[in-house]
Amino acid sequence: MSEPLKLHHVGIVVQELEEAIERYCLLGLKETERGIVEKFDVAVSMIPAGNVKLELMQPLGEGNVQKFLEKRGEGLHHLAFEVKNIEATLAALKSQGVQLIDEVPRPGFGGHRVAFLHPMSFSGLLVELVEAED
């Protein structure tokens, strides 16, 4: 990849959205969007912090986010980077030996197509790609 990817959002797992949003208010941060992402079984609150958003995720069922919460507790979960063409990016990364969690994009928050890359390929960092316009 020649152009550096831009950070789109930081994913954070919380036990209870309302309580977390109230805490983040102390930093002057305010929720601008709320929704449910069925594919990931989470309720999501988007909180801008400058040019990047914080994506608070409260698990609603027995999905991976709930497993993360049980194993590691609340806290930072993933970094999401913006890409223009998610299929092309996935193909390019795969050809360079990156291990993909999602071979095919799936629907994420706000109607964006997203795909996760395996943390083993990025020194422990769980990376999400988000197809988004500038």
- Using CB under 8 A, list all residues that contact its own copies: 1-7, 10, 12-16, 19-20, 23-24, 26-30, 48-52, 54, 72-79, 81-82, 93, 96, 98, 119, 121-127
Distances (CA, A) of 111 to 38, 55, 95, 124: 12, 14, 27, 27
- Rounded least distance, CB 43 to its own copies, Å: 14
Tracing tokens 């769980």 back to the chain, one arrives at 126
- Rounded least distance, CB 41 to its own copies, Å: 19
Between 6 and 38, name the residue whose CB sits nearer to its own copies: 6
Is the Cβ–Cβ distance between 60 and 36 less than 8 Å? Answer: yes
Query: What is the four-CA torsion angle of 15, 81, 126, 114, rounded to 10 degrees?
Result: 80
- Rounded least distance, CB 104 to its own copies, Å: 20
Between 54 and 114, name the residue whose CB sits nearer to its own copies: 54
Between 2 and 111, name the residue whose CB sits nearer to its own copies: 2
- Rounded least distance, CB 106 to its own copies, Å: 20
- Within 10 A of 25 (CB to CB), how many other CB atoms are there? 12
Using DSSP's 3-state secondary structure scheme, residue 121 falls into helix
Between 113 and 118, name the residue whose CB sits nearer to its own copies: 118
- Rounded least distance, CB 15 to its own copies, Å: 7
Q: Which amino acid is at 96?
A: Q
Tracing tokens 């801008």 back to the chain, one arrives at 48
